[in-house]
Amino acid sequence: MSALGSASAQSSVSATTAVVILAAGKGVRMRSARPKVLHAVGGRPMLDRVLELAARHAGASAPRLVVVGAQRDEVEAHLARSDPRAIPAVQEPQRGTGDAVRCALAALGETPAERILVLSGDVPLLAPGTLLALEAAFGRHGCAVAFLTAIADEPGAYGRVVRNEHGAVTRIVEARDASAAELLVRETNAGVYLFDRAFLSEALPRLGTANAQGEWYLTDVIGLAVDAGRPVEGVLTRDATEILGANSRADLARIESALQTRLAAAAMAEGVTLVRPETVTLEDGVTFEPDAVLEPFVSLAGATHVSAGARIGQGSILRDTKVGPGVTVKPYTVAEGATIGAGSIVGPFARLREGTELEEGVHVGNFVETKKARLARGAKANHLTYLGDCSVGERTNV
């Protein structure tokens, strides 16, 4: 078993890797009208996170195939907007992850690529360094396949990694097909694999469907490689939250909470005070300067920036908003697409809408709504006012 270090996250690896993203499944357990991979964590569809990781790892110009099937029109329309370079590969009907990869290879055709990196559209928190470690293990052992694993406290429905008495992987068994003894195994399959393409092409046609779901399982390729005497590595991911997969709403909530823990830790490491970190909601695009303070139940989204010494009051919700140095945002303020100049005081219960621009030292008080309003330096609107499509002069008191 090789364990991952926190390899630094600079990409990109061999140009001969093609990436396959599995996204054709019905996602039955979500009980949703929306395709599973378009459900969001941290405000962004899971599929977009996986596509971004794929481009970052294999290089922007490496082929990215997305296997689509269930609710294909919606997923394809989303892809056309969010990653037009990604190539949809149709799997119709959906007969398992092995079948999905077969469809992707057919769509890849003669494109030169020696390795196939398979990612799951429902595993959104993988870190780039973890994929580098997977590549490294693959190269070191001259693998037919290397795949990521994790030690789970509750292995639940994940596939189990079966190892022999020497610790070598012998196969992966799905929870539904596992014996009572195999179910006790805590090492789980992440659904992330790096394959030697030639081996994968030979192995896929040899998969069977003798399993609880009657599907072609990609996981069975591992056993085929072992039987053929080809090197196989299960690479342990140190941070088990990276490989959480979303099959249900409960899984989705666990993934969100793992992501929020990560974002809060990163903000605190940058010198931001989070009074009650477990109550704050952040997104990846939010940026901070040191000595900003976030009170409980604050929610920051989009390209929000909080400058040095600014304090964001309890329960405030800010999206795409620039908060200047030393600003005080009092509790329960809602702002979207606004700019708040240095030293301004906003709230409580203020609503700053799109195009609001507050220069330095502006005061906007309770029950004031602004839209496309420019308030010059030192202007005040402290109570019960609507200011829309207007410009308010320096030090004016509304």
Cβ 263 to Mg ion, closest distance in Å? 23
Please identify which residue in 172, 222, 286, 358 interacts with ligand UD1, judged by CB under 6 A. Answer: 172
Q: Counting contacts by CB under 6 A, is residue 304 touching ligand UD1?
A: no
Q: Which does 100 bind (CB under 5 to 8 A by kind): ligand UD1, Mg ion, none?
A: ligand UD1
Cis peptide, bond prior to residue 348, ω within 30 of zero: yes
Longest dimension (CA), the chain: 81
The least CB distance from residue 105 to ligand UD1, in Å, is: 13
Residues between 60 and 119 with contacts to ligand UD1, criterion CB under 6 A? 67, 69, 91, 94-97, 99-100
**Segment 228 to 267, residues that bind ligand UD1, using CB under 6 A:** 245, 247
Contact 380, 363 (CB under 8 A): yes
User: Is residue 187 close enough to count as binding ligand UD1 by CB under 6 A?
Assistant: no
The answer to whether residues 240 and 261 touch, using CB atoms and an 8 Å cutoff, is no
> Token pair for residue 322?
């620039």
Least distance (Å) between residue 164 CB and ligand UD1: 19
Whole-number Å distance between alpha carbons of 266 and 262: 6
Question: Which two structure tokens, joined as six digits, stand for 166?
Answer: 């020497």
Q: Which residues make Cβ contacts (< 8 Å) with residue 28, sequence separation at least 6?
A: none
Q: Which is nearer to ligand UD1, 215 or 295 (CB)?
A: 215
Any contact of residue 122 with ligand UD1 (CB under 6 A)? Answer: yes
Angle between helices 46-58 and 128-141 (to 10 degrees): 50
Q: Which does 97 bind (CB under 5 to 8 A by kind): ligand UD1, Mg ion, none?
A: ligand UD1
Where along the sequence are the contacts to Mg ion (CB under 5 A)? 122, 245, 247
Residue among 197, 203, 194 nearest 226 (CA): 203
Q: Which is nearer to ligand UD1, 88 or 277 (CB)?
A: 88
Determine if residue 283 is left, alpha or beta; phi over 0 gives left, psi from -120 to 50 gives alpha, anything else beta.
beta
Cite the active site residues. 383
Kind of pairing between the strands at 160-163 and 169-173: antiparallel
| Residues in contact with 132: Cβ distance below 8 Å, sequence separation at least 6, in sequence order | 7, 8, 9, 11, 13, 57
Q: Which residues of 242-256 are buried (b: 16+ CB within 10 A; e: fewer)?
A: bbbbbbbeebbebbb
Least separation in angstroms between CB 386 and ligand UD1? 47
365 sits near ligand UD1 (criterion: CB under 6 A): no
Taking the complex as a whole, the smallest distance from the CB of residue 54 to Mg ion amounts, in Å, to: 17
Tokens coding 269: 């490491």
Residue count, binding to ligand UD1 (CB under 6 A): 32
User: Between residues 91 and 321, which has the closer beta carbon with respect to ligand UD1?
Assistant: 91
Q: Which stretch binds ligand UD1 (CB under 6 A): 124-132, 151-159, 231-239, 361-369?
A: 151-159
> With CB cut-offs between 5 and 8 Å by kind, which of ligand UD1, Mg ion, none does residue 280 bind?
none
Place of tokens 């596939």: 159
Q: By CB under 6 A, is residue 193 in contact with ligand UD1?
A: no
The answer to whether 340 touches 324, Cβ cutoff 8 Å, is: yes
Report how far residue 296's alpha carbon sits from residue 36's, in angstroms, rounded to the nearest whole number: 31
Shortest distance in whole angstroms from residue 34 CB to Mg ion: 16
For ligand UD1, give the closer residue by CB, 104 or 387: 104
The site for ligand UD1 (CB under 6 A) is made up of 22-25, 37, 67, 69, 91, 94-97, 99-100, 120-123, 157-159, 172, 174, 188-191, 217-219, 245, 247
